[in-house]
Homo-oligomer: A and B are copies of this chain.
Amino acid sequence: MVFAENQYQEGTRDTAWVFPGTALDGFSSGLESLFSQHVLRLPNNCTLLIEGDECRAVYYVRAGWLALSKALEGGQNQIIDFALPGDIVDPSGADGVTASVTVEALTDGALAAMPYRSWETMTGERPALHHLAHRMESAMHARRAERMLRVGRGAAEMRLAYALVEFCIRISPDSDGRNCEFHIPLTQQQLGDYVGLSSVHVCRTLRRMARNGILEMRDHMDIRVLDPRSLACLAGVDVEALKRAIMPQGA
């Protein structure tokens, strides 16, 4: 029943260790309330070192943006995915004791951890939850596959346009696409890490889109899409179809 608060260790820099505890008991419906216990708060910019038993857990994002990333020796970084509030993160690799990604908080946020055993039990006992989890898993796969397609095969403009459409959908899924305006808590460097571009080229490409009247940008990634249709076209995306493919609650 032990579950540590957010514990900092005077380590390299802004790094939090997480120690998941034992099984939860008592839960009600809805992911939010299922994960209402054992919440740990994450300060902006902190990196979660998940290893050993901590990999045998599932993490629910209650607030904030997380980046799941990997890096090469040379320091080249690639963001594998973002986790937004409501998402579930399972960082375990095949051996169950090594994380396959690094988790980093892009904003202040809150995370709830649950031992995988508990999660397994809960999903096993509640079909509706199991289905929701499956849908979320499928959505994540679809999302990553869409981006892999564009990172592997698309030019800079398509990669960025796609990323923006994806953000727009994930942030305001119910938006009709008319006045799509949102904030992404990312530097251009991080955006580049997401789509496989240098920050310089991200800047140039976004500027060009702005110049072409597709979007407007204000201080630090406040983005307003002026021409959603053109953006979707650049992204090579049918927005409604994409919504169905990558949003668990859609349809």
Q: Chain A: residues with CB nearer than 8 A to chain B? A: 68, 70-73, 76-78, 80, 90, 92-96, 98, 100-101, 116, 120, 124, 127, 130, 134-139, 141-142, 144-154, 158, 193, 195-196, 236, 241, 244-248, 250-251
Taking a contact as CB atoms closer than 8 A, the residue among B94, B95, B145 that contacts A100 in the complex is B145
Contact A244 B100 (CB under 8 A): no
Given known A-B contacts A80-B145, A134-B116, A148-B80, A153 and B196 have beta carbons under 8 A apart: yes
Contact B154 A94 (CB under 8 A): no
What's the nearest-Cβ distance from chain B to residue A222, in Å?
A: 26
Q: How many copies does the complex hold?
A: 2
Contact B236 A138 (CB under 8 A): no
Q: How far is the CA of A246 from the CA of B95 in the complex (A)?
A: 8
Q: Which residues of the other chain, B, contact A101 by a CB distance below 8 angstroms?
A: 145
Question: A119: nearest residue on chain B (CB-CB)?
Answer: B134
Q: How far is the CA of A141 from the CA of B98 in the complex (A)?
A: 13
Pull 29 A–B residue pairs with CB atoms less than 8 Å apart, ordered by A.
A70-B148, A72-B150, A76-B154, A77-B153, A78-B152, A80-B145, A80-B148, A90-B138, A92-B138, A93-B138, A93-B139, A93-B142, A93-B244, A93-B246, A94-B135, A94-B138, A94-B142, A94-B245, A94-B246, A95-B250, A98-B244, A100-B142, A100-B245, A144-B144, A147-B148, A148-B148, A148-B151, A151-B196, A152-B196
Q: How far is the CA of A149 from the CA of B6 in the complex (A)?
A: 29
What's the nearest-Cβ distance from chain B to residue A166, in Å?
A: 13
Q: How far is the CA of A70 from the CA of B238 in the complex (A)?
A: 14
What's the nearest-Cβ distance from chain B to residue A165, in Å?
A: 14
Contact B151 A95 (CB under 8 A): no
Contact A244 B149 (CB under 8 A): no
What's the nearest-Cβ distance from chain B to residue A244, in Å?
A: 4
Q: How far is the CA of A195 from the CA of B151 in the complex (A)?
A: 10
Q: Which residues of the other chain, B, contact A78 by a CB distance below 8 angstroms?
A: 148-149, 152-153
